[in-house]
Amino acid sequence: MNLLDLLVDATLETIESMTFMEVIKSEKTTPYDEHMVRLRVEILINKPFPGEMRLVLPQELAVQFTKNMYNLSDEEITEELVQDVLGEIVNVISGRLMADLVPEDQIFELGLPLIGPDVFVQAEASSLSVEFDAEETPFWVILFGDGFQESFDKMGHV
């Protein structure tokens, strides 16, 4: 296993179990579409290293996740409910990943999820981006910071 495999496993298991939707790691790369309304959910890794995990997804997929999690109709979906669901999803994915990257006797500390519209930003920081599909709709999970790979290497993963 490598860092990519750990991230893919944490993402697939979390979203499938929480939203009851089949999710696959995409084999394609969807071009950036500035007309698509996307949300960005980010969570900071505060300890044992600085980093960030980001979930970027189309607004309609976020609504579908929420509808599935709570078995609600379109009329019952609120922006606050969507934000709660997305915050919980990114919190669980990052928690699972960090549990795999940090020795059992070491703690990790996550920040609070921040949610807002996605804006395309060219980042200089090292990152690992993975595209997934849920019901043929692409979404992305991105890690920012060197600490993820360094922790992976320290844990002696093979």
Query: pLDDT tens digits for 126-144?
Result: 688 999 999 999 999 999 9
When divided into structural domains, the chain yields a total of 1
Please report, as a single letter, which amino acid is at residue 118. D
Which CATH number do you get for residue 22?
Answer: 3.40.1550.10
- In 4-152, DSSP assigns E strands to 23-25, 38-47, 51-58, 109-110, 114-117, 127-134, 137-144
User: What pLDDT digit, counting tens, does each position of 55-109 carry?
Assistant: 999 999 999 999 999 999 999 999 999 999 999 999 999 999 999 999 889 999 9
Q: Looking at residue 95, what is its pLDDT?
A: 97
> Which residues are CB-neighbours of 73 under 8 A, at least 6 positions away?
67
* pLDDT at residue 35 greater than cutoff 80: no
Q: What is the pLDDT of residue 127?
A: 83
Cα separation values, 70 from 26, 78, 99, Å = 26, 12, 27
Enclosing domain of residue 7: 3-28+37-154
At 157 the pLDDT is: 55
Sequence-ordered list of residues with C-beta below 8 angstroms from that of 87, at least 6 positions apart, any chain = 41, 112, 113, 115
| Residue 108 near residue 102 (C-beta atoms within 8 A) | yes
